[in-house]
Amino acid sequence: MTSSYANFFEFGKSLNNNIAYTNSPANPLTYAIMPNYNTDFNHGPTAHWIRPFSTVSATYMKELANGMHGAKELWNTYCEAYLLANPSTYWMNMGAINSQAFAIINAASTPKNTVGQNLLRNALELHCIYYPGANFTREQFDPNIANSPYVSIANTLCDNCAAKIIFSPDPDNDRIIEKVLSMPTTCTDVLAYMWAALHPEKVRHVLHPHHITLKEPLTQKQKNSKLHQHLTSPKLQKYYEHWFKIIMKTLGEPCPCHKCTVNCYNRPHRYSPQHSPGS
């Protein structure tokens, strides 16, 4: 027998219209940005588990940085506030898709990424890397709040998965790219993947054909961009080649399984022409 009752999220659409307002306790930003709670924090006992470093917060913020959840621009002022307000290097990066690649670089780096810097790294990954074999679990940010938005939690990738690199259509007028270029070492693993796609002749000995490639040929505007200049700068070639080889050596042989070569069925990439149910 099929139930005719609305689920809590659908019911909440009419019940809780304040979810979009940043001064409402129901808005995820009131959980996700500040690391410390005080006596005025009135979200209830379960909110203790939703902190800036938690999986749902890290995922919500990277999606917000990519223009989702009603954001009117990429990398808005809330993302900048999160970056500045979360200087701890203690917590794991719970918002990465390719968490293994990040962990490899972060473990070998001094200083480590902060929770705030992880947002920039994760935002760039969502913005510019499409993993055909990735899949996501849709979860409500806070299931105890009516109309709380859904986020796409990345499931663990299988070892060394294929990746398609997607350049922003206009990198020089892209707020995420602009921020990344101001502090590129926080995004070394993501930029190393992008570097590899631009230099197949330097990585063919460690990769299978078409393992990490550009999803589409670059336009002249993309080739003339500061991002392209950064990734092709002679001064940085050894840097990205060094880290890329470390990632590949640690992850092992590129995964040949079918899962890594088929399109993601859960949520399309920001610039992907594909569409999927529930996106």
- Within a 10 A sphere around the Cβ of 63, how many other Cβ atoms? 22
3-state SS class at 88: coil
pLDDT at 9: 44
| Verdict on whether the full-model pTM lies above 0.85 | no
pLDDT in single tens digits along all 279 residues of the chain: 555 544 544 444 444 455 555 556 667 777 778 776 544 444 555 554 567 889 999 999 999 999 999 999 999 999 999 999 999 999 999 999 999 999 999 999 999 999 999 999 999 999 999 998 888 999 998 887 778 889 999 987 867 888 999 999 999 999 999 999 999 999 999 999 999 999 998 887 766 656 899 999 999 999 999 999 999 999 999 999 999 999 998 988 777 665 566 554 343 444 333 333 333
Q: Total structural domains in the chain?
A: 1
126 falls within a domain: yes
Q: Which residues contact 18 (CB under 8 A, 6 or more apart)?
A: 24, 26, 27
pLDDT at 33: 81
Q: Is 261 exposed, middle or buried (0-12, 13-18, 19+ CB in 10 A)?
A: middle
Nearest partner of 199 among 169, 162, 236, 158, judged by Cα = 236
Nearest partner of 109 among 35, 181, 183, judged by Cα = 183
Between the alpha carbon of residue 173 and those of residues 33, 139, 184, 228, 264, the distances in Å are 26, 32, 17, 13, 28
277 falls within a domain: no
188 falls within a domain: yes
67 falls within a domain: yes
252 falls within a domain: yes
273 falls within a domain: no
- Within a 10 A sphere around the Cβ of 235, how many other Cβ atoms? 7
Tokens coding 258: 């079918």
